[in-house]
Structure 1
Amino acid sequence: MAVKKSELYSLLWEACNKLRGGVEPSRYKDYVLVLLFFKYVSDRYKGQRFAEFTVSEGASFDDLIAAKGKSDVGERVDKIIQKFLEENRLQGSLPDVSFNNPDELGSGKELVDKVSGLIAIFQNPAIDFRSNRASGDDIIGDAYEYFMMKFAQESGKSKGQFYTPSEVSRIIARLIGIGDIRQETGKKWTLHDPAAGSGSLLIRAADEAPMDENGDSIVTIFGQEKYPDTAGLAKMNFILHNKGTGEIKSGNTLANPAYTDDFGGLKKFDFIVMNPPFSDKDWTDGIKPSEDKFKRFDGYGIPPEKNGDYAWFLHVLKALDSNGKAGIILPHGVLFRGNIEETIRKAVLDKRYIKGIVGLPANLFYGTGIPACIIIIDKENADNREGIFMVDASRGFKKDGNKNRLREQDIEKIVQTCINKEEIMGYSRFVTYKEILEENDGNLNVPRYIQKIDDTLPQNISSHLKGGIPEVDIDSIEKLWKVSPKLKQELFTRVDEKHNVYNLATSPNEIETVISEDENIKSQKDTECGELFGAWRNAVKNVLLNINVDTNPKELIRNIGLEILHDFESAQLLDNYDVYDFLLNYWNEKMQDDVYVIKASGYEAGREIEYVYAQKKAKDESGEEIKVDDTSKMKSFEGALISREIIENEYFEKELIVLNKLREKSTLLESEIDEMREEESGDEGLLVNALNEKGDSIPKANLNKRIKELESKKTSPVMSDITKLIELLDEGNTIEMEQIVQDNSELKGYELRNKNGSFGKAKLKAALKEANEKAVMPEIYADEYNALLAYQAKVSEKEESDKAIKEAQKTLDELVLAKYGELSIDEIKHLLFNKKWMARLEGDIVDAIDQVLNELASKVVLIAKRYEHTLGEIEEKTAQSKIKVKSALERMGYIW
């Protein structure tokens, strides 16, 4: 089975937990990522000739496994990894960590346990990358990105600056136009990031470039990063994303650019992406701006000494080819700050290099909460550019802990709006250079050109005084009236023609029903759930049912995502970007794992089952006691691709109905038992003597013990005589025994003698038990005894019910397990497409429409209640309440 992203993410974080305590949080990532990288390369290239990396004996992950548990495991791991680095000329390229560091990992057994535990995590069969060669490197690379994001989230302000949120990286990658280039003879396309961090922005941009005939990107990537350790992370990132040929150099870009041409000037690049340190106060370290040998500030001006935003910006301009394109993330302040920055900004505007600006939400980036923007630069045909396309995306995000994050729909809306230059009121607009320079003096502040739509309703003073609902309030629910114009007349009645004032025409409690039962509303709901969703489902069916080794999952989701945007453009209840979000969220949650598994293993993977076993103790390679699966004791199972729930519903409906009825019965019995216990658990309760110490349950042992205690209190003449008979038998006094039997005729109903006519002790004891059952409980104990017996009977009934459930479940499990192995490819495709993927998405759409209708109904009620009582009525009611309170206080003796 191919590696699943969700499993890999979980294992990475588990590895991190192994290090908590001794290792500084900022170092977690270095240890874990070095092992992840080494495991990946070892799995992928060991034993392969002419491979991209050499993985020899003594320098593979298998050698790490052999070192587990040894007293010198830390030293061994360091030597193994160092040998690999030397053989591949990677010394100094990766984060500098030592697995034999007592300061971070402890000493003695603590270090041995930590390092061995880390190795064991990566030894997990769930992350065997040898089985993943067919599916490319997206999974491992994206897992790396996920881990970097998690670390940035946990590291806070001081350590998160090395990582650009992937959502922002994806936007820039698509907006700079790198996807439009084509392979040209003699042309080598280049992509650069002067502040590369961990390389995520570079990689996202490179992923957008077309591939050559060998499946390699046609762009060559170059990065520079100030900190060597972070540069090492970037190098690993390149390799894990199948971009190992990408260069990353360490050094201060502004003081010592690593990429220069033969004449001592800056090397020119076709594309540049960058997320530099915001408002860099140390940008002049190592450089005298007035004597900059690269002439980056000539014609623009020197940026402020304590704010390097424009220093980075001008570096990009200088390093761009004459037709070059760039995407830069900078604080929003660069768009409007004055003084020398204003001078620089106007000089840039005069050259018309800026093609687009996207204003982003605040609190999006790790390390700062200030709002930022994306500036798109395009030198090609800049002289003929008439303006800048601006987008205000500041309100499109979701909360994620203490940060904001762009949703999938926010990303796609920004990209599609910019690509299509679609002007949307309150969101996007094309602004001419004439308006920017002549009317606004070079100020680029996005809100100056795009005014936010105020969708709050002003209070209507006249309606508060006189009553009635103003028409402007009713018109605010335009979405509802657009779908069903007649609803407006059904819900509201005009009472003042002159001033367009209305009253509610129905009870507030009936509004939701009136809306949901409206024929136009029902028709529109059917259209969006049926017709529009059906059109998309038919459009993507062929793609999703023909996934193979050549399928590009990222291209697949982009294509079907754009298709759903297009197919839901005419929707009136749902926004097509909301529907897009449903698809992408499900993709990220589950669907992408399915696609990667099918890509690697084919649709036959639908027959595969994942088992959960009980654990047993065993010895590992070093003799240490560990827990392993006991394959003789299966606890549960689940389909690797198709859930058992789908199989049960599709093929075993009858068995499922029987099982569910048994479960319902058991649940009802459980409820009845709880009710019996709760009713009789008080101080005077009939079951109180059988309760446990906490008083919240009745153990079976307690129940039986109390019943036995009470039964011992039963009495009757027959019981007394039988007890006497037993005593006399022990004494050998048969004469008196015969007399007792003769005197008590009731004893003739009991079997007291053996076959030879003599009294038998076993017979007498059995008779005593029988007599006890027939005996009358003393009145003082009768109610408690009967309550205990009733409770015992109900518990026994539930036990029988649970036994039946267990047997029915076992039978169903056997049927389901057998069915997995019998599934045909056509059946697997049907179940995956119709019963899993489409069923989930259709359910999301139906739920979303219901939510929209509920919100619209709530808005109608809110508007109706807004002016339900006039100011005069409220004042009158207040006055009456005041009189009543005053009167009550006077009766209580309060006088003022």
Structure 2
Amino acid sequence: MALKKSDLYSSLWRSCDELRGGMDASQYKDYILTLLFVKYVTDKAKSDPNSLIDVPVGGSFDDMIALKGDKEIGDKINKIIGKLAEANGLEKVIDLADFNDEEKLGKGKEMQDRLSKLVMIFADLDFRGSRAEGDDLLGDAYEYLMRHFATESGKSKGQFYTPAEVSRVLAKVVGIGPGTRQDHTVFDPTCGSGSLLLKVADEAPRGITIYGQEKDNATWALAKMNMILHGNEDAEILKGDTITNPQFTAGRELRTFDFAVANPPFSIKSWSNGLENDYGRFELGRPPEKNGDYAFLLHILKSLKSSGKAAVILPHGVLFRAGAEAAIRKELLRRGYIKGIIGLPANLFYGTNIAACIMILDKENAQARTGIFMIDASKGFIKDGNKNRLRSQDIHKIVDVFNRQIEIERYSRMVPLHEIADPKNDYNLNISRYIDSSEPEDNQDLHAHMHGGIPNRDLDALGGYWEAFPQLRNQLFKPNNRPGYSDLTIDVSRVQQTILDSPEFQKFADESRDLTTKWFNDHRDAFISIGTETQPNDLIATVSDDLLARFKPVPLLDEYDVYEQLMTYWHSVMHDDVFLIMHEGWMDAAKPRKAIESKDRKLSETPDLVIGSGRNATKYRMDLIPPSLIVARYFAEEQAKVDELTAAAEEASRTVEEYVEEHTVEDGLLIDAMDDDKINKALTTARLKVARSEGSDPEEIKALQHLIKLYNDEAATKKAVKEAQAALDLAVLEKYGELSEADVKKLVLDDKWRAAIVGRIGSEVNALTMALVARIQVLGDRYVETLGALDALMKVLESKVSQHLADMGVE
């Protein structure tokens, strides 16, 4: 039984993290990723006789497994990796991490145990079925580890990895797509670990030729391994400083490419150290000596063919800084090289917390360009630990809006070049000059405060709601005696229930639910057909784009919010489910499996079902079909009985608590049964025995006897609950073995996926309704008390104070 992907990745990270000791994550990653690489190529060679990587005798991961417990394990792992490197020309690529380093891995037994455990973590992984395209277990695991290593490495060492979400945006806006040919070229002059280039390659289904350069030796090695791990063995990744020592040259000229993407280091001060040949890169102006942002941008521009396109991540300063940068920016605009600018949220990147932007360059028809398309996407993100992250909806919206050049108020617009060149702007590209993304001010109305009534302009601002619910405004509001103002027809406390009970709202909610159900049913055959050949990324792209398109015409609802509900469920649940079905088949994926319990590897799982108790308990995990779905469909009556017994047990416990509380007050009948302010059945029984022998107050004896009866009743009801629950759990476990494939598909598709998605999208309808309720309540409360009413109240209070003073003899 395959583990769910999310469980596999998190277990992998936790296990590796357990063993790193005091080593910095930026160093530890080299050990982990090297082992992952060796494991992958070993598995690949077993299943693919035409694999481009030759795994020699004595150079495989299996040879590492044989070293478990070996006193010389560190040195022998180095030799295994050395053989693999020598056989494939990968010296100084996969052999940079020293597995015999006592300072990092410990001495003697400590190193022996640490490396033995580390190797065994990877031993259970099987990458023989891993594919470079579509849903890639290895690639996803690698990216999962890279993200965590980048997060752990801190500001100074986290720049080897561009967040996958940002990489996807660059890949989709640079112009690569289904029409891209395999002989088209893409170049990243500061490629880091290569993650950005690989995201670009994902956008080219027919393939694309990859080129990259990286300055840091260890990061360059990661990039080389990353390319091989993702099936891009032919990618040309060279080492060196891009500005002072560009590797992709043709004589005294730079080689040119069809596309370029980059996330260069921000505002580097030493960019020109050792610069001898500028290769004509600075013909539009020389960047300032203490800031290298434009040095990288101009290098990329020079590296593009005459119709080439690029997407580059840069700090916002390049858009507005003065001096030499302003002169370069002016020339770029005059020549039409800048196609667009996308402002991103702050704190997305691992190397810095500042906000960045994406600048899109396009040489094709540059002279004919008359405007720059700008997007302010700075508000679209979700918090993820100590960083921000683009959501699926943020990525899709940015890409849709940019590629289709859609203008949206406070989000995007095509800015004419003559507006940018106007003296008041003087070629300043600061996005806030051209797009005001701030929310409109909530202005107070002085006349309404003085005389009452809700301003109609505030109600008009809710036009989207009145469009969706045409009769609701007249139901909630009536004209005030002053033109331009309205009054609530009901008390403000009843607004929420009135809206929820509105036939228009109920119709809107029903139509949204029906639209979601129809969408799901239309794709049901695709879901039923999930199997070994399924491409999960293609599947979710198709169905999610269709969902977005169907909700686009729906008033009030933001189709991207609806899309996000699906994508969140996909990433948290459906993706794992699809993975299991692909690898196990519907029937095997639905079978219960024993939960993993391993103190050694820290991989213990929380069980979904426990049969038996104590040491005899058997713990099960149900990855595809949780027990709650089986209970809801097949054992509703039994569950109702358990609920009834549980309620009885809770009532019995409350009765005990109330009786004890009533009679343990000072001089209470049960006070002598308490010990350290505690009372239980044992103490009560002991006190009853003493009370009888001493001939105590009959009322106390009667109270003690009654409490013991209550304790017995409580124990009996709890026992009944336990027995009923145990019987239900056993019946549920047995039911799994009786399910047919049709049953499994119905449970997964209807009871799990469809029900969850319909519910999540329904929550969007409820959320926007609550927003309307909140706004009406604010307006209703804001103007409920007029100046006249407050003045009248003030006079009443003054009169009362005067009367109180007079009563006390104060004049």
Query: What TM-score do you get using the length of structure 2 for normalisation?
Result: 0.91
Matched position secondary structure for 2:58: coil
Could you tell me which residue of structure 2 aligns to residue 259 of structure 1?
248
Q: Distance in 2 between matches of 1:366 and 1:405?
A: 11
The answer to whether the 8 A contact 1:22-1:106 is kept is no
Q: Alpha carbons of 1:526 and 1:95: their partners in 2 closer, same or farther (altered >3 Å)?
A: farther
- Match of residue 170 from structure 2: 172
Per-residue Cα deviation, 1:583-622 (whole angstroms, up to 9, x for no partner): 111111111111122223332334322222777999xxxx
Matched, 1:448 2:433: yes
1:442 corresponds to which letter in structure 2?
Y
Indicate if the aligned counterparts of 1:60 and 1:84 stay in contact, CA closer than 8 A: yes
Q: Distance in 2 between matches of 1:592 and 1:573?
A: 29
Q: Provide the C-alpha distance between the structure 1 equivalents of 2:764 and 2:76, rounded to a whole number of angstroms.
A: 57
Aligned residues of 1:613 and 1:633 also touching (Cα < 8 A): no
- Structure 1 window deviating more from structure 2 (395-404 vs 129-138): it is 129-138
Please say if 1:138 is aligned against 2:136: yes
SS of alignment partner, residue 589 of structure 1: helix
Question: Could you give the per-residue CA deviations for residues 283-315 of structure 1, whole angstroms, max 9, x where no partner exists?
Answer: 112214xx52x11012x0100111111100000
Q: Distance in 1 between matches of 2:376 and 2:165?
A: 16
CA contact (8 A) 1:137 1:242 kept: no
Q: 1:467 to 1:191 in 2, by over 3 A?
A: same
Residue 199 of structure 1: aligned partner: 194
User: 2:735 aligned with 1:844, yes or no?
Assistant: no
Distance in 1 (CA, whole Å) between partners of 2:420 and 2:710 is 82
Moved more, 857-866 or 796-805: 796-805
> Quick one: which of 467, 481, 491 aligns to 2:452?
467
In structure 1, the residue matched to 2:81 is: 81
Distance between the aligned counterparts of 1:335 and 1:861, measured in 2? 43
Choose 366-375 or 855-864, whichever is displaced more. 366-375
Seen in structure 2, the aligned counterparts of structure 1 residues 153 and 353 have a Cα distance that, compared at 3 Å, is same
Match of 1:281 in 2: 269
- How far apart, in 2, do the equivalents of 1:136 and 1:435 lie? 44
Aligned to 1:721: none
Residue 42 to residue 792, structure 1, CA distance change in 2 (3 Å):
farther
**Is the 1:30–1:95 contact (alpha carbons within 8 Å) kept by the matching residues of 2?**
no
1:779 equivalent to 2:696? Answer yes
CA distance in 1, matches of 2:802, 2:241: 78
Q: Which moved more, 1:813-822 or 1:841-850?
A: 813-822
Q: Distance in 2 between matches of 1:243 and 1:134?
A: 8
Match of 1:829 among 745, 769, 778: 745
Relative to structure 1, the CA distance from residue 348 to residue 865 in structure 2 (aligned partners, 3 Å threshold; closer, same or farther) is same
Alignment pair present for 1:236 and 2:225: yes
Q: Tell me the TM-score normalized by structure 1.
A: 0.83
Question: 2:133–2:202: 8 Å Cα contact kept in structure 1?
Answer: no
1:657 aligns with 2:633: no
1:707 paired residue number: 685
* Deviation readout 1:240-293 (Å, 9 max, x if unpaired): 3232332322211111112222x34212111111011111111112214xx52x
> Would you say the 8 A contact 1:356–1:388 is kept in 2?
yes
Q: What's the secondary structure of 1:329's corresponding residue?
A: strand
Equivalent residue pairs, number = 799
Q: Equivalents in 2 of 1:177, 1:100: separation in Å?
A: 47
Report the CA distance shift for 1:82/1:47 in structure 2 as closer, same or farther (over 3 A). farther
Give the C-alpha shift of residue 885 in structure 1: 7.9
| Structure 1 gaps, min length 5 | 212-217, 619-629, 716-776
Instruction: Provide Cα deviations, 1:143-188, integer angstroms capped at 9, x if missing partner.
Output: 22222222323333222222212111111111111114344xxx72
- Provide the secondary structure at the position in 1 that maps to 2:177: helix
Q: Is residue 190 of structure 1 aligned with residue 174 of structure 2?
A: no
Asked if 1:35 corresponds to 2:24, the answer is no
Q: Is residue 180–residue 208 contact of structure 2 (8 Å, CA) maintained in 1?
A: no
Aligned to 1:598: 581
- 1:667–1:133 CA distance, 2 compared to 1 (3 A): farther
Distance in structure 2 (CA, Å) of the matches to 1:684 and 1:70: 73
Residues 706-715 or 633-642, more deviating: 706-715
User: Is the alpha carbon distance of 1:508 and 1:882 closer, same or farther for their aligned partners in structure 2, counting shifts above 3 Å?
Assistant: same
Match of 2:713 in 1: 797
Question: Could you tell me which residue of structure 2 aligns to residue 313 of structure 1?
Answer: 297
Deviation readout 1:758-810 (Å, 9 max, x if unpaired):
xxxxxxxxxxxxxxxxxxx7234x45544444343333334333433343334
Q: Structure 1, residues 170-208: CA drift from partner, whole Å, max 9, x if none?
A: 11111111114344xxx7221111111121111111100
Kept in 2: contact 1:609–1:640 (CA 8 A): yes
The whole-number CA distance in structure 2 between the counterparts of 1:52 and 1:690 is: 81
The structure-2 alpha-carbon separation of the partners of 1:274 and 1:675, relative to structure 1 and needing over 3 Å to count, comes to farther
Tell me the residue number matched to 2:281.
Answer: 296
2:10 matched to which residue of 1?
Answer: 10
List aligned pairs for 1:481-492, cutoff 5 A: 481-492=466-477
Q: 1:129 aligns with which of 124, 127, 130?
A: 127
Q: Deviations over 1:337-358 (max 9, x none)?
A: 2221111112112221222211
Describe the SS at the equivalent of 2:465: helix
Q: Which aligned pairs between 1:269-668 and structure 2 lie closer than 5 A?
A: 269-288=257-276, 291-292=277-278, 294-298=279-283, 300-438=284-422, 440-452=425-437, 454-498=439-483, 500-530=484-514, 532-612=515-595, 633-668=616-651
Secondary structure of the corresponding residue to residue 144 of structure 1: helix
**Partners of 2:673 and 2:687 within 8 A in 1:** no
Percentage of matched positions with identical amino acids: 43
* Counterparts of 1:159 and 1:400, CA distance in 2: 19
Residue 72 of structure 1: aligned partner: 72
Distance 1:709 1:182, change over 3 A: closer
1:733-752 matches, cutoff 5 A: none
Q: 1:762 maps to what in 2?
A: none
- Provide the C-alpha distance between the structure 1 equivalents of 2:54 and 2:805, rounded to a whole number of angstroms: 93
**CA 1:433–1:679 in 2, change beyond 3 Å: closer, same or farther?**
same
Contact 1:425/1:453 (8 A) holds in 2: no
Partners of 2:210 and 2:802 lie apart in 1 by 82
Q: CA deviation at 1:634?
A: 4.6
Kindly report the root-mean-square deviation, in angstroms, between the aligned alpha carbons of the 2 structures: 3.1
2:777 aligned to which of 861, 880, 889: 861
What is the distance in 1 between the residues matched to 2:364 and 2:518? 40
Q: Residues 456-504 of structure 1: CA distance to partner in whole angstroms, max 9, x if unpaired? A: 3211122222222211112222222112233222222222344x12222
Structure 2 distance, partners of 1:151, 1:793, is: 60
**Bigger Rg, structure 1 or 2:** 1
Report the counterpart of residue 234 of structure 2 in structure 1: 245
Residues 81 and 95, structure 2, Cα contact 8 Å, conserved in 1: no
Deviation of 1:508 (Å):
0.9
Rounded Cα–Cα distance in structure 2 between residues aligned with 1:394 and 1:493: 40
Change (3 A) 1:889 1:334: farther
Higher mean displacement: 452-461 or 573-582: 452-461
3-state secondary structure, aligned to 1:162: coil
C-alpha distance in 2 between matches for 1:31 and 1:889: 84
Say which SS state the counterpart of residue 67 (structure 1) adopts: coil
Query: For the residues of structure 1 that align with 2:533 and 2:353, how far apart are their CA atoms?
Result: 42
Measure the CA separation in 2 of the matches of 1:868 and 1:705. Answer: 60
**Aligned AA for 1:24?**
D
Q: Is the 8 A contact 2:672 2:687 kept in 1?
A: no
Judge conservation of contact 1:612–1:634 (CA < 8 Å) in 2: no
Q: CA contact under 8 A between 1:605 and 1:640: conserved in structure 2?
A: no
Q: In structure 2, how many angstroms separate the alpha carbons of the residues matched to 1:78 and 1:678?
A: 71
Distance, in Å, in 1 between the alignment partners of 2:795 and 2:750 is: 64
Tell me by how many angstroms 1:819 deviates: 2.8
Give deviations 1:644-703, integer Å, cap 9, x for gaps.
Answer: 21122122223222233233333333343444455555665655666676x5673xxxx3
User: How far apart are the structure 1 equivalents of 2:596 and 2:335?
Assistant: 68
